[in-house]
Each structure stands twice: as C-alpha cells, then as structure tokens.
Amino acid sequence: MQQTNENALKTDFTKIFINGQWRKGASDSNMENTNPFTGETLFEISAANNDDLDEAYQAAKIAQKEWAKTPALQRQGLIEQFLKVMYEEKETIIDWLIKESGSTRIKAEGEFLASVLIVKEAATFPLRMHGEIRPSVVPGKENRIYRKALGVIGVISPWNFPFHLAIRSIATAIAIGNAVVVKPATDTPVSGGLIFASLFEKAGLPKGVLNVIVGRGSEIGDSIVEHPVPRLISFTGSTEVGRHIGELAGKHLKKTALELGGNNVFVVLDDADLDRAVESAVYSKFYHQGQICMSTNRILVADSIHDEFVEKYVARVKELQFGDPSKDRTQVGPLINQSQVDRIMEEIEKTKAAGATVRVGGEANGNVIAPTVVTGVTNDMPLAKNEIFGPVAVIIPFKDDEHAIELANSLPYGLSGAVHGSSIERATEFALQVETGMIHINDQSVNDEPHMPFGGEKDSGLGRFNGEWVLEEFSTVQWVSVMHERRQYKPFFE
C-alpha cells in the first residue's frame, strides 16, 4: 500500500504520475511487472494511452515555463535535495533494481553509485548555463548569445541499467530548466520511471516538471516522439528502435539523443599482461550478465598468445557464481526475460553448428544462462556479428594489428571498446584507429564518468551524454543583437 506519511516515499507504483498526481492509466489494458528470476508478479498497472500522454506533455509544457524562470541556485538546490533523498532511499532503489531488472546486489550497488555521480554533475548545470558577448560587424552594435533550456524533453528509458540511464537524462534536463515526460521500458516501470516521480516528489519538485507514464510501445511508442510538445527525445536502447525514433523525430524536426547498440571489441595485443587482460575481459563481459551496451561482445586475441589467454580466461569464468541475484556474492544473475534467453541460446547453437566450440557453460536454467565461453569463432558467426547482450564470451584470434583493426571496424557499430598492451603508445595508436565513440587502454569496456563524453559512432547512436556535451544537447542558444546608437541604413534610404 502507499505510505501515508507526508514525507515518506510513495511506494504504490500501480499508478502513473501526471502533473503531480498519482492516478490510473486510461488504457483498457493492464501491464504486469514480473521478477525475472522468480517469475513472481510484482504488481499490475493500468497502462497509459494517448490521452494520458497528451495530458502529461501539456502539463510539462505549462510547468516548464515557470521552472525555467526559477533562479539557478534554486534549481541547483532542488537537485541537491534530490540527491539527499536518493541516499535516504538507497535500499528501496537497490531492492527494486534486484527484483525488477534482475540486477545482482553487486551491480545494483554499482548502479546506485554511478547515479550519484551523475546527479552531482547535474547539480552544477544551473550555474553553467553561460552565454557570450561577441563583437558585431555593424558599428555601435553588440551581439549577445543566451543559452536557454530547450523546453520539454521526452525520455524513453531502457531496462538494463534503468535507474542510471534514466537519471542521466532526467536530472540533467530538470537542472537546466526543462520539463520531462518519461516512458520507462515495460520490463522496468519502477526503476526506470515511477521511482523518480516518488523521489522528486519527496524532494519538492514543482508539479508538472516531471511526469511518468507507463504504456505499451504499440499504443504510445510513436506518439511520445511525434507529439508536438517535446523538443528533444532521449532514447537508450536497440539500434533498430533507435533508428525508427530517429526517422520519426527527423520528420518532425526534433532533436534526438540516441545511445544504441554496440558490438564492442576487447583487443589483447601480443605484448599484453595476460593476467590483467583476463581479469578485465571477464568483468567487461559478465558484469550484469553482459546486458550492457558497453559490454564486450568480441574478444580479439593475438595468435601468439591465444591459447594461453583462453586457458586462463576459461579457468576464471568457471569460478563465477551465478543464480539468485539477491545473494551478496552472486556475480551473474538472470536475463530480463525468457525471450532474451531463447534468442541467445539459439545463437549459441547456430554458432556451434558453424564450427565453434563451447568451452564452458552453454546451458540455461529459467532466465539464468551459465557464464559461457565460445572459441573457434569467426567474425561472421552469429555470436560475433550480432550484439549478444548476455553472458556469452566469444574469442577470436588475429594475425597482427592491422588484422585486428580490420576485424574491429568490419561491423556497423562503434560504442565502446578496450585495448590491452604493455606499450601505451602502440595501444593508443591502435585505439585511435578503432571506429568507436569510447575506448579504454589496459581497462575494460564498461566505463562511464559523469564529466566525460558518452556516446557512439555509426549504428551505435547520435549525440553525447554527460558533462558539457549533454548540456549542449539539452539546451539551445539564442542570438540577441543590441543597437546602442542609431543605425544608418545607407544606401537604402538614399
């Protein structure tokens, strides 16, 4: 039941949140929220329809005008208060991440910490909305450039890191002076959406600045993009859906911030520290079951060290604990749903049929796939050419650096990656030739820092999150010129 204490966090998540009010969605259909490990139904919610969506956007449009006028220090104070509420409700947030998204406790703790850093960065944005004064080619004139909030931003959040990947858009947008309408993924309506309504409500955010609607993509998915109110759509998810959103937004001349799929390479050069590389490659493949856009998809290893690397890697993977995500030491938990399990198991079988060998794992129990390593893989096999998004590592040998770069760049993705080698200069030269938005030397591929540009190239997305880059994405500039003396319009009036 919903808590009655005025200062307590609202925990009845069977309702959507529009203009400061918790209410039932107006759709005829209900949506079931399920624990991916136990299969337990957590609750049912009446879905939102297009009327709800329109009401949310209209409320946001009205609220944003006043919110944008709010002094910068007050907006900063609100974000700081939100951070305080986050700390107060840490266990609630972690509990929802575990039971709704299948996060292990280790991953949920890490996601919370990453979100804290994002919010701390967002709290600096109100005082970073600076403009410029530039000279004019016209005598007696002054050019002013004002940075302003965009208006209303639509956020479509994913299910894999639902809290972190939603808050990086929500907190940023609100700090800058925008209003927000959030549609969370259907698998994670709380941790990717409704919990923010509760947290910001407790923090004292004015009504209408944040609205959260839970609905089916088939019913409101296109409408959230095509509605005339939002100026930007922020989406994190698959390349297929992102491309569709980009097409819809482009038709209506809307901005987009799209973080999409990846097929990230982890490259082990012939001079790499093998133990260090193995440890990094295990983490970047199996953290959160590999359900991360930055997860390593292909491990490329130099021929001369391939066999030794495989031996060490397989031994380390066999030590991973998998199963119940609520247990403290579980390292690999369940996938989000059965369809993801079925898809990955089918690709394992197809890759085996093409000549690859499963060295460990390869079995599923419910939504849990045992940590799996596959060798004898080539770049054209299903597990290599498709984004796995699960706990399956594929290892591919390469002849030399040029061959590795060719393998890395042969697929249409470019989000993250890693290169291991003892020569920093050689590894850096290699990294600069990889067509990717982010790449890390002697580290793993799952990196995100709140002040560094986060985003991809090619089919991995458009735009950048974090720091001044997201500030640029979520705001606009206006040129205002000022004539300080009477202008002579010659020869027009001669």
Q: Which residues are marked as active site?
A: 259
User: Of 212, 251, 232, which is closest to residue 462 (Cα–Cα)?
Assistant: 232
Give the CA distances from residue 181 to residues 46, 234, 486, in Å, rounded to whole numbers and listed in that order. 18, 10, 46
Give the CA distances from residue 303 to residues 104, 126, 443, in Å, rounded to whole numbers and listed in that order. 35, 52, 21
Q: At 370, list the tokens.
A: 């045992």
Contact (Cβ atoms closer than 8 angstroms) between residue 323 and residue 335: no
* Chain position carrying tokens 């858009």: 169
> What whole-number distance in Å separates Cα of residue 105 and Cα of residue 288?
10
> What whole-number distance in Å separates Cα of residue 112 and Cα of residue 93?
8
Q: At 426, list the tokens.
A: 């050689």
Look up residue 485 and give its DSSP letter. Answer: S
Contact (Cβ atoms closer than 8 angstroms) between residue 209 and residue 111: no
Q: At 159, list the tokens.
A: 């299910």
Give the CA distances from residue 491 to residues 97, 229, 258, 488, in Å, rounded to whole numbers and listed in that order. 69, 44, 49, 9
> What whole-number distance in Å separates Cα of residue 268 and Cα of residue 270?
7
266 three-class SS: strand
Q: At 79, list the tokens.
A: 């974000």
∠ Cα 168 256 72 (to 5°): 50
DSSP string, 25-76: --SS-EEEEE-TTT--EEEEEEPP-HHHHHHHHHHHHHHHHHHHHS-HHHHH
* Chain position carrying tokens 């042969």: 410
Look up residue 270 and give its DSSP letter. Answer: T
> What whole-number distance in Å separates Cα of residue 319 and Cα of residue 231?
49
